[in-house]
Amino acid sequence: MEQVFAYIIGLGAAVMMPVIFTILGVCIGIKFGDALKSGLKVGVGFIGLSIVTALLTSALGPALQKVVEIYNLQLKVFDMGWPAAASVAYNTAVGAFIIPVCLGVNLLMLLTKTTRTVNIDLWNYWHFAFIGAVIYFATESLAWGFFGAIICYIVTLVLADMTAYKFQHFYKDMEGISIPQPFCAGFAPFAWIINKGLDKIPGLNKIEIDAEGMKKKFGIMGEPLFLGVVVGVGIGCLTCTSWAEIVDSIPRILSLGIKMGAVMELIPRVTVLFIEGLKPISDATRALIARKFKNADGLSIGMSPALVIGHPTTLVVSLLLIPVTLLLAVILPGNQFLPLASLAGMFYLFPLVLPFTKGNVLKTFIIGVIIITAGLYMVTNIAPAFTLAAHDVFIATGDSAVAIPDGFEGGALDFASSPLCWALYQCTVNLKWIGAGVLVILACGMMWWNRVHIARNQREMIAKNSDDLQQNI
């Protein structure tokens, strides 16, 4: 089973999503050619996104590594990046069965009306496998691993439902879409709480700075493209130890700046492909639901947050957080994790934060700093269990992506820095049965609340349809 699912996942999102979208499109009544075209556009979008991300990593990685060497910033938790975390997730006993188990849970929750999200984002199922694998190696119990993964999946589906309305109304062309990715979903409750707190601060609650406002106020200096160039040049200068070296390195510094600017400019353009591929599937799904389930609360298609990471506020805040994150990693007492490879995934912190801040750059940045600060400690805390899992996978597969240098532990910003991941780890590994009881009560309570909410929406829809019918008569 491990080999079968490792092969399927090894195809990557760029291959998996066109296949899934084509099959889904045909099943809901779209012509095969149109369904294939939609799927291929989504696949091309993933290819484009991976190319842009690779550009960011290849340009920024060596520069940051040199900064680490110059200022002796090395910490004991080695940043393996999300590809290593995904490899660890899917090459374990938990990962081998995670897709059918989660699909079964999703189907059961749909039948019991405890969720309205159909999660087809199979690639990101590695998040559930990851927490399951980490718990498995920390407890030496496969049952505990699956328990953690299933609870994570249930909580994520409910959070996807809870954030679906705000998500669809904040982002354009996202009607009928939700984000059941636990890394993003885990930050939504904290974004809501912190944003409420910021609204209580006099003065701060009057500052409305969104990405479009920055462009109007600061002109080109408020553009993500320009900010990318500035940050890239700034990091390039930090790789030099003297003014003379800066002068000699001007071509390399400017090249880094242009590449960083290119990433900021290309990501929004690439995400347009996702939307073009998704729209026919989304429209057909809503039409099918309207025909078959006239009085039902509309289903949402669970998709990757890659759809919306091109939002200008996400780009600006992610870019500004790169140097801030490095500084925090060095100065925070007790932290042992220095993010380098993981910085390319910074964009995925904010897809479900922006609907609460309404795209306000300042509020989003403050929330980002708080999230990153807590996340660094969470990665440090989970690192020993992550290292055990990575060593096991390396011995079994020989995959160099999961090789940890001698004397280091392993970590990654995604998904190990998520409060959801950390809470599940603490409850299952440290609190054992008490923690399991708390998690079961939490999951059941969230499902019950969601079912009540869904039932209320259905009653309101029935009442509305009845009123419309009477007015027509």
pLDDT of 469 higher than 70: no
pLDDT in tens, 253-276: 999 999 999 999 999 888 888 888
pLDDT in tens, 48-74: 888 888 888 888 888 988 888 888 887
What is the structure's pLDDT at 294? 55
Pairwise pLDDT comparison (20 vs 420), residue with the higher score: 420
Q: How many CA atoms, within 13 angstroms, populate the side-chain half-sphere of residue 412? A: 28
For residues 349 and 53, give the distance between their C-alpha atoms in angstroms, rounded to a whole number.
Answer: 15
- Looking at the DSSP bridge assignments, the partners of residue 301 are 118, 177
pLDDT of 13 higher than 90: no
What is the structure's pLDDT at 208? 81
What is the structure's pLDDT at 49? 84
pLDDT in tens, 314-324: 999 999 999 99
What is the structure's pLDDT at 467? 61
pLDDT in tens, 293-307: 555 556 888 988 988
Pairwise pLDDT comparison (81 vs 210), residue with the higher score: 81
Q: What is the mean pLDDT of residues 70-87?
A: 85
Least reliable range by pLDDT among 278-287, 422-431, 461-470: 461-470
For residues 459 and 295, give the distance between their C-alpha atoms in angstroms, rounded to a whole number.
Answer: 8
CB atoms within 10 A of CB 425: 23
Pairwise pLDDT comparison (289 vs 53), residue with the higher score: 53
For residues 88 and 421, give the distance between their C-alpha atoms in angstroms, rounded to a whole number.
Answer: 15
- What range defines the domain where residue 131 resides? 2-472
471: confidence class by pLDDT, cuts 50, 70, 90: low
Least reliable range by pLDDT among 68-72, 281-285, 393-397: 281-285
CA distances from 134 to 346, 422, 440 (A): 22, 11, 19
The answer to whether 183 and 350 are in contact (CB under 8 A) is: no
Q: What is the mean pLDDT of residues 185-207?
A: 91
With H, G, I as helix, E, B as strand and everything else as coil, classify residue 340.
coil
Report the candidate in 226, 203, 208, 257 with the shortest Cα–Cα distance to residue 56.
257
With H, G, I as helix, E, B as strand and everything else as coil, classify residue 78.
strand
The answer to whether 347 and 318 are in contact (CB under 8 A) is: yes
Total domains, the chain: 1
Amino acid symbol at 402: V
Tokens of 78: 């080695």
Helix (H) or strand (E) holding 79: strand 77-79
Report the C-alpha dihedral over residues 158, 159, 160, 166, rounded to 10 degrees. Answer: 130
What is the structure's pLDDT at 255? 94
pLDDT in tens, 233-253: 999 999 998 999 999 999 999
Tokens of 404: 């940890």
pLDDT in tens, 336-379: 999 988 888 889 999 999 999 999 999 999 999 999 999 999 99
pLDDT of 175 higher than 90: no
What is the structure's pLDDT at 53? 83
Give the helix ranges, DSSP H, for 249-311.
250-292
Report angle CA 184, 224, 12 to the nearest 5 degrees: 45
What is the structure's pLDDT at 258? 94
What is the structure's pLDDT at 215? 66
With H, G, I as helix, E, B as strand and everything else as coil, classify residue 331.
helix
What is the structure's pLDDT at 466? 59
For residues 38 and 280, give the distance between their C-alpha atoms in angstroms, rounded to a whole number.
Answer: 7
Tokens of 420: 């959801």
What pTM did the predictor assign?
A: 0.88
CA distances from 28 to 117, 176, 284, 398 (A): 16, 15, 7, 42
What is the structure's pLDDT at 73? 81
pLDDT in tens, 127-164: 999 999 999 999 999 999 999 999 999 999 999 999 99
CB atoms within 10 A of CB 139: 18
What is the structure's pLDDT at 450? 95
pLDDT of 116 higher than 80: yes
Backbone angles phi, psi at 79, to 5 degrees: -80, 110
